[in-house]
Chains A and B, each alone.
Chain A
Amino acid sequence: MQISDEVLALKILSRLTPRDIASVGSVCRRLYELTKNEDLWRMVCQNAWGSETTRVLETVPGAKRLGWGRLARELTTLEAAAWRKLTVGGAVEPSRCNFSACAVGNRVVLFGGEGVNMQPMNDTFCVGPELHKSRMATCQSELSASWALGQGLLNDVFVLDLDAKHPTWREISSLAPPLPRSWHSSCTLDGTKLIVSGGCADSGVLLSDTFLLDLSMEKPIWREIPVAWTPPSRLGHTLSVYGGRKILMFGGLAKSGPLRFRSSDVFTMDLSEEEPCWRCVTGSGMPGAGNPGGIAPPPRLDHVAVSLPGGRILVFGGSVAGLHSASQLYILDPTEEKPTWRILNVPGRPPRFAWGHSTCVVEGPEL
């Protein structure tokens, strides 16, 4: 009266987290053999990270060679993370900085920013196992930024399709765009929707609005997300997507009365709700604070925050107050009961300059 291996794998084991499977593999010979099954690991990865992430990972060259079991291990422990330098060729006209760029499926979307006339840095750093260096190298555009010199703020939208034979930047005409701005943050949802939040308007006023643009529509229209309460307006913060349709806002230079301070606050919003609202992520016990527990990253703006499979957010760089190092990597899991900041120790030499730039995860675990 036994449950067969297939049924056991499908009905029970596939629901466990990668770490639990590794633990279960140490129990007995039968379970050890089961944890050698790639199909089981694929189901586990899909349940743990969602079907969108596993679908994208499947298309990454090198992922097949590693196999799902190894991928699960590396993306859970991040043991293969190491700093590596990567060069991307091409240019974006008009050349701009302090824009925000993020991945929309296989397309890279660029929004707003300021015109520049300083030399942009043209190297890109990456963190992660070497999975798609060749992909980034064939892209015809540069994701780089440098100092802001203000030539007028923009609110146009450009799209780069990395799947096209000769990827080129293409402008998107959209209706009812939000106020032109720079130093805002953005992220993409479901691979088709661009979310933009905050930033600094032409007048110098800090914004705290949140807008959504559905790029899958024939004629995309910007829509403001109505909320009863917003976190203090800010610029130079980040928006990251996790758990499917949730977004996490971190840091930035935030308005506090007549002053502006660097922040390390964390706020989240669940866009799958009927009426999405901003929530503080607490854990430090301070009332009203948006500070999770643990060793928080020093307050900063203009940093990078990347979503890792499993819902964790990785924070790096930025303009940090005082003498704190900006090249320390911090990790936060907003899905934990008491979200806690942790430091990620990674071998290799991190980039010397860690602010004023923009990065995104196009595919796979590269930063």
Chain B
Amino acid sequence: MIPLPLIDGRTLARVITYLNKHTEDDASDEAKRKFDEEFLYGMEVGVLYDAALAANYLDIGGLFHEVCQRIADGMMNKSVEWVRKTFHIESEFTSEEEVQIKKEYAWAWEGVDSNAD
């Protein structure tokens, strides 16, 4: 028995499901692609991120690549607060730094549109 204390049970179960499919003798590339699509469909970014960490730790390149792509897609157009909450990030900025950085990167949300969306 090999203990993996850093990966929680649910994430590990998902990784094993993935590996079982991808190591099947008679599974075609097309079948594997279809499986990935269905398997990862609708997974929340937080769950995908746990899978990414596990895949990175266990060095499972294919899964890591697929999951990263979906994380990027899921991150588009999200707020700073959403990112912090989803990836469990604590901001260590002081309140002055927070203000200064928000000003520096204000263009993330502002544009030259005279009519807002």
Shortest distance between the CB of B30 and any CB in chain A (Å): 21
| Residues B108 and A22 in contact, CB atoms below 8 Å apart | yes
- Which one of A277-285, A299-307, A340-348, A358-366 contacts B? A340-348
Query: Given contacts A11-B68, A25-B101, could you give 16 more A-B pairs where the C-beta distance is less than 8 Å?
Result: A1-B6, A1-B7, A1-B53, A15-B72, A16-B75, A20-B76, A20-B77, A21-B108, A22-B107, A23-B105, A25-B105, A25-B108, A27-B80, A27-B89, A73-B107, A79-B107
**What residues of chain A have their CB less than 8 Å away from a CB belonging to chain B?**
1-3, 7, 11-13, 15-17, 19-29, 31-32, 73, 76-79, 81, 294-295, 342-345
Distance in angstroms between the alpha carbons of A27 and B84 in the assembled complex: 6
Distance in angstroms between the alpha carbons of A2 and B49 in the assembled complex: 11
Cβ-closest chain B residue relative to A35: B105
| Residues A342 and B114 in contact, CB atoms below 8 Å apart | yes
Residues in B whose Cβ lies below 8 Å from that of A73: 107
| Residues B78 and A23 in contact, CB atoms below 8 Å apart | yes
Residues in B whose Cβ lies below 8 Å from that of A76: 107, 111
Interface residues on B, range: 35 or more
Shortest distance between the CB of B104 and any CB in chain A (Å): 8
Cβ-closest chain A residue relative to B77: A20
| Residues A29 and B93 in contact, CB atoms below 8 Å apart | yes
Given A15-B69, A23-B80, A76-B107: A32 and B112 within 8 A (CB)? Answer: no
Within 8 A of A (CB), among B1-58: 6-7, 52-54, 56-57
Residues in B whose Cβ lies below 8 Å from that of A3: 52-53, 56
**What residues of chain B have their CB less than 8 Å away from a CB belonging to chain A?**
6-7, 52-54, 56-57, 64-65, 68-69, 71-73, 75-80, 83-84, 89-93, 101-102, 104-105, 107-115
| Residues B76 and A16 in contact, CB atoms below 8 Å apart | yes
Distance in angstroms between the alpha carbons of A249 and B71 in the assembled complex: 35
Shortest distance between the CB of B58 and any CB in chain A (Å): 10
Shortest distance between the CB of A347 and any CB in chain B (Å): 11
Residues in A whose Cβ lies below 8 Å from that of B90: 28
Distance in angstroms between the alpha carbons of A270 and B71 in the assembled complex: 29
| Residues B110 and A77 in contact, CB atoms below 8 Å apart | yes
| Residues A20 and B93 in contact, CB atoms below 8 Å apart | no
| Residues A26 and B112 in contact, CB atoms below 8 Å apart | no
| Residues A343 and B115 in contact, CB atoms below 8 Å apart | yes
Shortest distance between the CB of B56 and any CB in chain A (Å): 5
Distance in angstroms between the alpha carbons of A327 and B115 in the assembled complex: 18
Distance in angstroms between the alpha carbons of A345 and B114 in the assembled complex: 8
A19 interface neighbour in B53, B89, B92, B108, Cβ under 8 Å: B108
Residues in B whose Cβ lies below 8 Å from that of A17: 76
| Residues B107 and A26 in contact, CB atoms below 8 Å apart | no
Distance in angstroms between the alpha carbons of A342 and B117 in the assembled complex: 10
Cβ-closest chain B residue relative to A77: B107
Shortest distance between the CB of A346 and any CB in chain B (Å): 8
Residues in A whose Cβ lies below 8 Å from that of B53: 1-3
Residues in B whose Cβ lies below 8 Å from that of A11: 64-65, 68
Shortest distance between the CB of A243 and any CB in chain B (Å): 17
Shortest distance between the CB of A129 and any CB in chain B (Å): 14
| Residues B89 and A28 in contact, CB atoms below 8 Å apart | yes
The 7 closest A-B pairs by CB, nearest first: A22-B108, A15-B72, A11-B68, A23-B108, A22-B105, A1-B6, A343-B114
Residues in A whose Cβ lies below 8 Å from that of B76: 16-17, 20
Shortest distance between the CB of B87 and any CB in chain A (Å): 8
Distance in angstroms between the alpha carbons of A81 and B64 in the assembled complex: 41
Shortest distance between the CB of B88 and any CB in chain A (Å): 11
Residues in B whose Cβ lies below 8 Å from that of A343: 113-115
Shortest distance between the CB of B66 and any CB in chain A (Å): 11
Cβ-closest chain A residue relative to B50: A1
Determine which residue in A12, A81, A343, A344 has the highest number of CB atoms from chain B within 10 A of its CB, and name it: A12
Residues in B whose Cβ lies below 8 Å from that of A19: 107-109
Cβ-closest chain A residue relative to B64: A11
Residues in B whose Cβ lies below 8 Å from that of A342: 113-115
Distance in angstroms between the alpha carbons of A299 and B108 in the assembled complex: 32
Shortest distance between the CB of A36 and any CB in chain B (Å): 11
